[in-house]
Amino acid sequence: MDRASQVLAQGLPPDVSQTWAALAEHGNVPLHTLYYRAHGRPSMGEKAQRQQYLTPEEEKGFVAILLLMSDLGQPVRIKHLPSLAFTLARHRSATTNSPMKPPGKNWARAFEKRHPELRARRVKAIDWKRHERNIYDKVIH
């Protein structure tokens, strides 16, 4: 809940006049923001969250699956994320009967910025002296 919504829910003390200006000054919130929240306009954060391609629950599960695949040694490249998200969203749209569009061209980069734990982990390079030595026995059982 943003600050303006909290101020509206708390109200004013009884000794203060019941005006928008007094409420805005008491809560240290801009007057227009307070008025817009009172009349149902969502905050920019709420609007941005509502416009995201995946719901917050879907994103949380998607991140968990991507981290699991990375831990198992099969990390998913960023270029494959939109097609996986589209598949996930199609399963949701099968119940709502609304046509789904694939995510936009910048969706994968924004998803990576929202979830920094998905950044590629640096793999330490193997010493070039050890690379070709003793690898034959490991490949051939």
CB-based burial of residue 56 (10 Å sphere; 0-12 exposed, 13-18 middle, 19+ buried)? exposed
Count of helices and strands (H, E) across the chain:
9, 0
pTM of model > 0.85 = no
Q: Which residue has the tokens 């046509």?
A: 99
- Please report, in tens digits, the pLDDT of each residue of the chain (141 residues total): 788 888 888 888 888 788 888 888 888 889 888 888 888 888 888 887 777 889 889 999 999 999 998 888 788 888 899 999 999 888 877 776 666 789 999 999 999 999 998 887 655 566 666 666 655 555 555
Q: Are 34 and 40 in contact (CB under 8 A)?
A: no
Nearest to 20 by CA among 40, 34, 6, 7: 34
In what helix (H) or strand (E) does residue 58 lie, and over which residues does it extend? helix 56-71
